[in-house]
Amino acid sequence: VSYGNNIVASVSEELEDEVRGYIGHFPAVHCFETPNLHVLNDAVEKKGMRVCFMAEYFLPDLNAQKRLPCDLETRFLDPEDLAELYTPQWSNALCEKRKELDVLAMGAYEAGRLVGLAGCSADCETMWQIGIDVAESHRRRGIASSLVSGLALAALERGKVPFYCAAWSNIRSVRTAIRCGFRPAWVELTVKKREFVDAMNAPDSSIR
């Protein structure tokens, strides 16, 4: 994890030397990008691991928080309303493998059909992560921004800090975060077992 000027690393004992050597050799700003990243991957591969997820995280600018409109009906959903929604279509908004963390959601409906869903997971006691999915047929209509901004305000009203995560290459998602008053706060990089990474890259992967 880097907040801009340094790196905080949580590692297993077996990888400590490799990670310590890596972050001690390169400037923090370059440790999360190629070509330097190849050095880390080469080192951890010898221990049966590979570099896996890379993402940017955003925190709310409290002076920029406001509900953004869309032309559809929207409504809040509580955990008991989510049971039928753990499907691939809504896998960014909700996570079936840790559904106990999903505490609040907001849906957008057209003629009674759910076409957009933002969900909050209580990743820790004080912070809720927001994820968003919009049906492909309904994108570019401001639905994502409306749901994310509405859910962010709801989290703040409940005394929680909303945060947002996007893969670095997901420009549409990053734009949604910025439109909703979120600002870049930190970046994360994870290392996983080789088998996990290989499974994600398999043609029939269900991990995505």
Q: pLDDT tens digits for 146-155?
A: 999 999 999 9
Is 165 found in the same domain as 137? Answer: yes
Q: What is the mean pLDDT of the segment spanning 17-27?
A: 96
pLDDT digits (tens, 9 = 90+) for 52-77: 999 999 999 999 999 999 999 999 99
pLDDT digits (tens, 9 = 90+) for 44-58: 999 999 999 999 999
pLDDT, averaged across the chain: 95
The pLDDT, as a whole number, for residue 203 is 84
pLDDT digits (tens, 9 = 90+) for 111-142: 999 999 999 999 999 999 999 999 999 999 99
Q: Is residue 112 part of a domain?
A: yes
Confidence of residue 205 (pLDDT cuts 50, 70, 90): low
Q: Is residue 8 part of a domain?
A: no
CATH code, domain carrying 176 = 3.40.630.30
Give long-range contacts, CB 8 A cutoff, 24+ apart: 89-96.
Answer: 89/133, 89/135, 90/117, 90/119, 90/133, 91/133, 91/208, 92/131, 92/132, 92/133, 93/117, 93/118, 93/119, 93/131, 93/132, 93/133, 94/119, 94/131, 95/121, 95/131
- pTM for the full model? 0.91
Q: Structural domain tally of the chain? A: 2
Is 71 found in the same domain as 33? Answer: no
Q: Which residue range forms the structural domain that includes residue 194?
A: 13-56+188-201
Is 88 found in the same domain as 23? Answer: no
Is 170 found in the same domain as 71? Answer: yes
